[in-house]
Amino acid sequence: MKLKTFGLVALCAGLCFSVTACNPTFQCGNWVFTGTPVGNAFPLTSSFTFNPAGCGQSCPESQDVMIQMTWVYDDNTHTNIYASNQPQGARSTPNGWNIDRIDGAAHGYYGLQNNGTFYSGWNTPGGPGVATTLDDEPGGWGANTYFYAVDVAVCYNSSSCNNKILGYYFWSYILDSSDVGQKFITAPAWQNLDSEFQAALTAWNNWAPTSGTEVDGTGTFPHAIAFPALSDL
Amino acid sequence: MKRFTIVAASLLACLCLAGCARKEKTVPLTDEQNQVKTRLEGQMQAAAQTAQSYHAMDNSVLLGKLLEESKAQREPFNSLAYRELKTRSGVDSKALAALVKDNPNASGLLPLLLLRKLDNKSYLELPAELRAKVLTDALGSSKFFNTWGLPNFYLEDASNAMIEAGRSATPALKKMLSDTRPAPLFGSQEAMLSKQMKYRLCDYALFFLKRIGGTGDFRLPQTVEERDALVKTAQK
């Protein structure tokens, strides 16, 4: 009798876990992703509109911006590849994910220039009810390349809810065997990617003091700037 | 009745334990999300295995791979052999120098850059003309320019080596001043900026000539017209 009850409880627990496991990552707002590959490039916009009330929060006058991490895979050589020397090694996670910034940028926030302003061609800041929009156009990668990215909306320089993560979004595209871009999957991110993102922040922060001078044409820093601790709202 | 109570309590406890204390919706992944998740995890595993297989190779095998990848115009940071060898001590400098001497053209680029990184003294003992020949050949045959970086933003090791090669590189660079083919970069922000800047091979040549000529802080002008005017002057 006891065994039968135990079996029933275990079955319920298993069923319960498979049905209710919180697989998607935290989201406190809505994502809108648009983009169509052109040749081997993928011009796109990724927008997030923060809805604090939707997750029982109030973040008056907060500003949110984007951080992007990427992972690019060459299916010919079965390895991950990079656009420059900087992200490989210390700036990447052990799995090869890295914060997507060009060499010379001192800040890890996707659109933040060294002079402290956001370049509108890369990221327009948003706020509650106002979308923050990331613009990207990856391109030039060779045939049989898989390009994966996770966009993360975070409160930045805000009087409330500062350094809180508001949501995660996954997008990807593939260069086929003729080096023609094909849209792959774009969807809310899932768990494990949020911990990979934390690992990418850690890698950036460990690397930053050793980066050497960062010059982007708008300002100069003796080395890259570490992120503050960022956590889900 | 007792059993019903236990089961109900278990279900409730399970709901709490499954992370549903959070405020977000707890929906399972879609088939599409599961599909890409599985593929990505498989690729991450494959990448780790590839790195491990290179890690297991001895230096002589890796030097062979390095030359193959150099001939295929792989960037140093995307060459598996380069990535592995740069972390090792005891790489034979003479063997690297011999690879450069046997391949005095673009094919010798990765051995040249690796020698520069691992044993700068031996690198500088190579004739400047040989270093310049390898570097200028590699620049002239580049399809994408990630190996060199993006002037005004960042320079990769190959660009610093070109500037170090000094006047030995000047004649070949001057010839490139008349070559207006595009010099794109692949990447994300790198690709966007290179598209915006519209650099051409002649702009890279101009940049190096100015830096070699002693204008250490030279920056390329923003517009093609301004750059063309400087190219014209440099051609004289």
**Residue range B132-142, pLDDT digits in tens:** 999 999 999 99
Q: How confident is the model at residue B178 (pLDDT cuts 50, 70, 90)?
A: very high
pLDDT at A104 over 50: yes
Average pLDDT over residues A94-110: 96
Distances (CA, A) of B119 to A205, A212, B97: 30, 21, 10
pLDDT at B16 over 80: no
- Measured between CA atoms, the residue of chain B closest to residue A77 is B50
pLDDT at B19 over 80: no
**Residue range B197-214, pLDDT digits in tens:** 999 999 999 999 999 998
The identity of residue B159, as a single letter, is: S
Predicted local distance difference test score (pLDDT) of residue B2: 53
Average pLDDT over residues A87-112: 94
Q: In what order do the strands lie in the sheet with A123-124?
A: A29-35, A44-50, A132-136, A123-124
How many helices and strands (H and E) does chain B possess? 13, 2
Residue A19 falls inside a structural domain: no
Predicted local distance difference test score (pLDDT) of residue A2: 47
Residue A7 falls inside a structural domain: no
Average pLDDT over residues B114-127: 97
Q: Quote the domain boundaries for residue A191.
A: 25-35+43-232
Residue pair A127/A164 in contact by the 8 Å Cβ criterion = no
Residue pair A175/A39 in contact by the 8 Å Cβ criterion = no
Cα dihedral across residues B117, B82, B79, B111: positive or negative: positive
**Residue range A51-90, pLDDT digits in tens:** 999 999 999 989 999 999 999 999 999 999 999 998 888 8
B window 49-88, beta carbon within 8 A of A: 49-51, 76-78, 80, 83
Classify B228 as helix, strand or coil.
helix
Average pLDDT score over chain A: 90
What is the nearest CA distance from A180 to chain B, expressed in angstroms? 14
Distances (CA, A) of A82 to A64, A97, B75, B80, B128: 28, 10, 9, 12, 30
Q: Do B153 and A104 touch (CB under 8 A)?
A: yes
Q: How confident is the model at residue B24 (pLDDT cuts 50, 70, 90)?
A: very low
CA pair distance A221, B138, nearest whole angstrom = 32
CA pair distance A117, A4, nearest whole angstrom = 65
pLDDT at A18 over 60: no
Q: How confident is the model at residue B95 (pLDDT cuts 50, 70, 90)?
A: very high
Q: How confident is the model at residue A195 (pLDDT cuts 50, 70, 90)?
A: very high
- The residue among A3 and A87 whose pLDDT is bigger is A87
Tally the domains of chain A. Answer: 1
What region does B214 belong to: left with phi over 0, alpha with psi -120 to 50, or beta? left
Classify A202 as helix, strand or coil.
helix
Instruction: Tell which of B33, B37, B189, B193 to mutate to test the A interface (max A CBs under 10 Å).
Output: B189
The identity of residue B170, as a single letter, is: T
Count the Cβ atoms, other than its own, within 10 Å of residue B71. Answer: 15
Predicted local distance difference test score (pLDDT) of residue A209: 97
Residue the block writes with tokens 């494959």: B46
pLDDT at B232 over 70: yes
Query: Which two structure tokens, joined as six digits, stand for A193?
Result: 């990617």
pLDDT at A3 over 70: no
Residue pair B220/B206 in contact by the 8 Å Cβ criterion = yes
Residue A6 falls inside a structural domain: no
Residue A10 falls inside a structural domain: no
pLDDT at B34 over 70: yes
Of the candidates B46, B146, B192, the beta carbon closest to that of A137 is on B192
Predicted local distance difference test score (pLDDT) of residue A87: 86
State the pairing for strand pair A164-175/A181-183.
antiparallel
Predicted local distance difference test score (pLDDT) of residue B3: 54
- Measured between CA atoms, the residue of chain A closest to residue B52 is A79
Residue A15 falls inside a structural domain: no
**Residue range B55-70, pLDDT digits in tens:** 999 999 999 999 999 9
A20 CB near a chain B CB, below 8 Å?
Answer: yes
Contacts 24+ apart (CB under 8 A), B176-179: B176/B136, B176/B139, B176/B140, B176/B201, B176/B202, B176/B204, B176/B205, B177/B202, B177/B205, B177/B206, B177/B209, B177/B231, B177/B234, B177/B235, B178/B202, B178/B235, B179/B140, B179/B205
CA A33 to chain centre: 13
What is the nearest CA distance from A157 to chain B, expressed in angstroms? 23
Of the candidates A84, A185, A187, the beta carbon closest to that of B77 is on A84
Query: Which two structure tokens, joined as six digits, stand for B179?
Result: 């070559």
Burial of A119 (0-12, 13-18, 19+ CB in 10 A): middle
A119 CB near a chain B CB, below 8 Å?
Answer: no
Instruction: Tell which of A3, A8, A12, A23 to mutate to test the B interface (max B CBs under 10 Å).
Output: A23
Write the DSSP string, A67-101.
EEEEEEEETTTTEE--SSSTTSGGGB-TTS-EE--
Average pLDDT over residues A163-169: 97
The identity of residue B182, as a single letter, is: P
Average pLDDT over residues A93-101: 95
Domain coordinates in residue numbering, chain B: 52-126, 127-236
Q: How confident is the model at residue B25 (pLDDT cuts 50, 70, 90)?
A: low
Predicted local distance difference test score (pLDDT) of residue B28: 87
Average pLDDT score over chain B: 91
pLDDT exceeding 90 applies to what percent of chain B? 83
Residue A31 falls inside a structural domain: yes
Of the candidates B25, B32, B185, the beta carbon closest to that of A140 is on B185
